[in-house]
Amino acid sequence: MRQTVTLGAAVAFAAALLAATPASADSPAAGEYRGTMDDRGRPVAVALSLEAGPMPGGPGGRIRFSQPWMCGFELEYSGQQDNAAIYSFRGFGAGACYRYTQGYARVIQPGGDRLYLELFDEKMDGLNKVGLWAVRP
């Protein structure tokens, strides 16, 4: 009986520690960001929504591409690499997003309301770089 109580207390303590783990302070500021990228001379509007305090392996937000692509992904926060937050693409990309299905995004926030977004395909080729600005409500 004593071992069961001790084991139960250890599990409860571990759960409390996990619940008290702070969200990532290094991730970019939560919010809505907009910008335009170039696809072989055609402008593609980009909408990026980042969640507050993502934890590695958890939801990080979403990215949507407008005409002519009309596709997007949910983002999974993967952690920090140098000065960039890394987000994996969740799901299967349709249309022009197909090449990014196994890829990822690097998000760099140099300061203020601006972000830099780099998109990588499954070959780790950096295919697009986008400057994004925060959307004010």
Per residue in 58-101, pLDDT (tens digit) is 999 999 999 899 999 999 999 998 889 999 999 888 888 988 88
Phi then psi dihedrals of residue 70, to 5 deg? 55, 60
pLDDT for 131 beyond 50? yes
pLDDT value of position 125:
65
3-state secondary structure of 2: helix
Q: Class for domain 24-134, per CATH?
A: mainly beta
Would the pTM count as exceeding 0.95? no
pLDDT for 48 beyond 90? yes
pLDDT value of position 133:
83
Nearest alpha-carbon partner for 132 in 60, 69, 50, 76 = 50
Nearest alpha-carbon partner for 80 in 6, 135, 24, 40 = 24
